Amino acid sequence: MSPAIARKTLKLPRKQKNEETQSPTDLIDSLLSEREREVLMHMVNGYNAKRISELIKYEHSDRAQAHLESLSQVTRQFKGPGYFART
């Protein structure tokens, strides 16, 4: 897990307690960068690292794979309905 994702993950329980009225989408938006959200949504839609790298024009698939691994650790925090809508 990258240091940035680790920091965001550690902030998650605190944010959930302090902002219980915040919607799941708003919570995710506050924790992830725009690029991370883009990769995450492709991951939720079932794309593999190679396809995601093509979609977001990464120079190397390894970088997309690293994002996927980091984001998959974060998404384990969101295992309920309503957090992600398939597009």
Confidence of residue 2 (pLDDT cuts 50, 70, 90): low
pLDDT (0 to 100) of residue 21: 66
- pLDDT over 80 (residue 84): no
DSSP conformation letters of 21-86: TS-HHHHHHHHS-HHHHHHHHHHHTT--HHHHHHHHT-S-HHHHHHHHHHHHHHHTT--STTS---
pLDDT (0 to 100) of residue 43: 80
pLDDT digits (tens, 9 = 90+) for 9-53: 666 655 545 455 667 677 777 777 788 878 878 888 888 888 888
C-alpha–C-alpha distance, residues 16 and 44, integer Å: 22
Distances (CA, A) of 4 to 9, 20, 57, 67, 81: 9, 23, 21, 11, 26
pTM here is 0.43
- pLDDT over 70 (residue 57): yes
**DSSP 8-state class, residue 20:** T
